[in-house]
Structure 1
Amino acid sequence: MGKSTTVAAAFTPLLELAFGSRPPLRFEFWDGSAVQPSGDNPGTMVIRSKDALNHMVWAPGELGLGRAYVAGTVDLEGDIFQVLRALQSAVPGDARLGVAGAWHALGAARRLGALTRRPQPPPEEARPPRGRQHTRHRDAAVISHHYDVGNDFYRLVLGASMTYSCARFAAADDDGRAAADPTVSLEDAQRAKHDLVCRKLGLTERPGMRLLDIGCGWGSMAMHAASVYGARVVGVTISGTQAELARKRIAEAGLSATVEIRQTDYRDLRGEQFDAISSIGMFEHVGANRADEYFDTLRALLRPEGRLLNHAISSAGGSKIRPRSFIGRYVFPDGELLDVGEVVLAMERAGFEVRDVEALREHYALTLREWVANLETGWDQAVSLAGEGRARIWRIYMAASALGFEDGGLGLHQVLGVIPTRQGRSGLPATRRAWG
């Protein structure tokens, strides 16, 4: 590269191939040169060193860019949602640079001296899990990677509710017709979600009903069911750090007599009977090939007229999280999103009568925006608790997920099923009005 040639000049042809003309945001390079956006500037992508290009050459696409961002050799400045939306709008998800783009990228990287040996991924990246997918051992390793980050870090991101699932931004007693209300606080929205689940499961009918909470996290749903409705709750998780803190929170709330937390796999539950089962934000880890086993296992744990509420992220047509994607390497290895129609069919195959399906995707977008705000407000503390790489992972993954729920690429459904008696009694109210 000649002395008068800037890094921006070397990369302008590649950016034109990627975006059709000028990029949708400002690109700034380590030599101070920059490429200006085609219109209003929503933010800046700062490429801080040649190392960023090396990551992107060796792993083209989102994984290489994600690695560079986690390593700190790429920064996204400005409103993270606006920056990601601008990039997403300018380059459709199925876009490819093709052979010409690959040659431009290699040529530019070579001229800039960025083609070196394959870089090591940042340490926060999950190594590909070993063994057959969705075995107990492999699932435990995957769950540990995501959830055993540190309870204090999760408390900072999730807020006082310590609930890592979609909240419901509406009054706890509304009729289910109101739009998501962004003025509701995150804590109130999580409380409303827990209350809705309890009412759908019929825990309002009498004190002392026995609830199984699959994937109980830090115990928030279990505590709500016990303290508000007098339920006797068994919560299960395979995360050791979750189980430890859940037990501590339950003891501090004086609920140890009615709430039990077990560190165990749901597949090891046998020989017990429950009045209701809640599964909130856990089904994404089950996988399509295990869905029948999952619902068969839960079916065997329910008494006649017992209800199951399955609350899970969904994807039209179903979607496996690819191992070479950013989410697959950094966030949810082995994750899989099922089409809600497939969830309904699997529940019916297990003997459930599906009585209600509710979509809450706009609520999850609001939830994620609240979590991103918590993270950005407490950034220095988050970095001290979990490291800068981990904080960067969470910032970009949560922001991108929020956009996915806003544009409909991701869905969130609560599916309510019941086990009818031999005489066909379901025990459910005739309309939704009973639970709101």
Structure 2
Amino acid sequence: MPHTADRLAALARQVLGRPSPIRIRAWDGSEAGPPDGPALVVRNRRALRRLMWSSGELGFARGWVSGDLDVDGDLYDALTRLSGLALNRDEPVPAGPPAGVFGAAPRGPAARLREAGRTARDAARPLGTMLSLTGLPVPPPAPAEEIRRRRGVLHSVRRDQEAIRHHYDVGNDFYALVLGPSMVYSCAYWDRPDATLEDAQRAKLDLICRKLALGPGMRLLDVGCGWGSMALHAAEHYGVQVVGITISHEQADLARKRVSEAGLTGRVEIRIQDYREHADGPYDAISSIGMAEHVGRVQFRAYADTLYELLRPGGRLLNHQISRRPVPNEEAYQVDEFIDRYVFPDGELAPIGTTVSVLEEAGLEVRDVHALREHYATTLRAWVANLESNQEQAARLTTQGRARVWRLYMAASALAFEQNRIGVNQILAVKTPPTGRSGMPPTRTL
């Protein structure tokens, strides 16, 4: 009788129409598949039941988070192979941007068979193999780290608060371990080859300050201020008065502590406040760094209108936001199932063109779009390295499952940026007054 791994490899071939792109190691110790590269470790029958009941990337994610599935070897190589981009090294990458961070739309065995032009009768054999391997065909419960029940209207203040708590209120010590001393949770700016993560994050904050033309006496609003890094940098190095707002209590607690320790209490105020509830304008400048991804389609125009109203005439906005590649005939805003369940609940990505259009519809004049896609891939790999170097400590600070979530999502996202499936852009816009005098420099110097 064939070993379990051989049966799994045969199952993969039936579904994919070609050999498995990755070596498979089963719970009985058997192995099958390519001898080179990483191995997909299937620890138990429950892993297969997860894949059967939640096909595509959600099933894989549930298996990964629970520890039922693992990778022995290079995680980036494994995810690239599993994405389908390396199923045949001699074939070109399929045209069109895939849907998920794993590099392929969530497709289960049935969808794979349909794509290959096979019938329901063709599906009977792999289904029978799957059932014989999984044991009782009962769906396993989702891991505790998955968000399931959501209350309230999508992107209402209350529901957004719950989503932010799920992602950010997992412990400041955990984030410090992953992000490093900068405590900046957005794309860094790698302006020289020998830069450290801390150097690159400092360069990013300084780049934003210069784009906003900050100077002494100016008022800056930092929307989604996180742990206060932008507010601290702007106040210390550019002499501005800063109001930072966040709806994460843990972020606000640490940000206030950092402001106090830096001796900047009189120049930086950190508030627990939703951007929709803020009315302290006008401001000379507004920074929104890695926050707009949480806003969503139903609120993005209101977000743009609010920031427009909070700026003085001639005031500048720097909107730093992840984007996705556009897909013809699809809704502009898209949700990734794994990210939605485990990482950023209710987060939505839109193409850069959609974001620019909405900002201009609100009355802002977009003056510059700066793509930083490759920079985010480098940043994510640095965060993954921090996590992998401190895996046991990360698990103690949160849970083993939560640490696994972060490692998977950051590694998969790094590949998505590298492969141009998602991007990140700094959009510089100005509230140009009726005179048309924007105050922007005549030449681009940054």
TM exceeds 0.5?
yes
Distance 1:385 1:269 in 2: 33
Matched, 1:367 2:367: no
- Equivalent residues in 2 for 1:92-107 (5 A)? 93-94=104-105, 96-98=111-113, 99=120, 103-107=124-128
Distance 1:48 1:102 in 2: 25
Residue type of the alignment partner of 1:269: H
| Residues 1:83 and 1:304: Cα distance change in structure 2 (over 3 Å) | same
Report how far residue 102 of structure 1 moved: 5.3
Q: Corresponding residue for 2:334? A: 320
- Equivalent residues in 2 for 1:412-427 (5 A)? 412-427=424-439
Q: Corresponding residue for 2:320? A: 311
SS at match of 1:320: coil
- 1:278-330 CA-partner distances (Å, limit 9, x unpaired): 000000011122111001001111111100000000012234214xx211111
Distance 1:247 1:342 in 2: 35
Distance 1:414 1:185 in 2: 21
| Residues 1:167 and 1:117: Cα distance change in structure 2 (over 3 Å) | same
Distance 2:321 2:149 in 1: 24
Matched, 1:86 2:81: yes
Matched, 1:252 2:261: yes
Residue type of the alignment partner of 2:291: M
Contact 1:24–1:41 (8 Å) recurs in 2: no
Contact 1:12–1:35 (8 Å) recurs in 2: yes
Distance 1:118 1:80 in 2: 27
Report how far residue 366 of structure 1 moved: 0.2
TM-score (norm 2): 0.90
Contact 1:57–1:106 (8 Å) recurs in 2: no
- 1:76-106 CA-partner distances (Å, limit 9, x unpaired): 1111111111222145624632356854453
Contact 2:314–2:432 (8 Å) recurs in 1: yes
Matched, 1:229 2:238: yes
Partner residue of 1:356 out of 368, 376, 380:
368
Matched, 1:31 2:28: yes
Partner residue of 2:389 out of 377, 380, 392:
377
Partner residue of 2:42 out of 40, 47, 61:
47
Distance 1:252 1:168 in 2: 26
| Residues 1:299 and 1:101: Cα distance change in structure 2 (over 3 Å) | farther
Contact 2:41–2:69 (8 Å) recurs in 1: yes
TM-score (norm 1): 0.92
Contact 1:210–1:274 (8 Å) recurs in 2: yes
Q: Corresponding residue for 1:119? A: 140
Percent of paired sites with the same residue? 53
Q: Corresponding residue for 2:19? A: 22
More displaced stretch, 262-271 vs 359-368: 262-271
Distance 1:80 1:18 in 2: 23
Report how far residue 274 of structure 1 moved: 0.5
Distance 2:121 2:162 in 1: 40
- Equivalent residues in 2 for 1:281-360 (5 A)? 281-317=290-326, 318-322=332-336, 325-360=337-372
Matched, 1:274 2:283: yes
More displaced stretch, 267-276 vs 111-120: 111-120
- 1:313-372 CA-partner distances (Å, limit 9, x unpaired): 0012234214xx211111112111111111111111111111100100000000000000
| Residues 1:113 and 1:344: Cα distance change in structure 2 (over 3 Å) | closer
SS at match of 2:271: strand
Contact 1:42–1:86 (8 Å) recurs in 2: no
Which ranges of structure 2 fall in alignment gaps of 5 or more residues? 88-93, 95-103, 114-119, 327-331
Contact 2:49–2:134 (8 Å) recurs in 1: no
| Residues 1:269 and 1:379: Cα distance change in structure 2 (over 3 Å) | same
Report how far residue 60 of structure 1 moved: 1.3
More displaced stretch, 139-148 vs 121-130: 121-130
Distance 1:102 1:62 in 2: 20
Which ranges of structure 1 fall in alignment gaps of 5 or more residues? 172-180
Matched, 1:188 2:209: no
Contact 1:53–1:114 (8 Å) recurs in 2: no
More displaced stretch, 94-103 vs 348-357: 94-103
Distance 1:270 1:103 in 2: 61
Distance 1:184 1:100 in 2: 57
Give the RMSD, CA atoms, in angstroms: 1.6
Distance 1:387 1:106 in 2: 34
Runs of 4+ in 1 over 6 A off after TM superposition: none
Equivalenced residues, count: 415
SS at match of 1:432: coil
SS at match of 1:390: helix
Q: Corresponding residue for 2:212? A: 201
Report how far residue 56 of structure 1 moved: 1.2
SS at match of 1:431: coil
SS at match of 1:42: coil
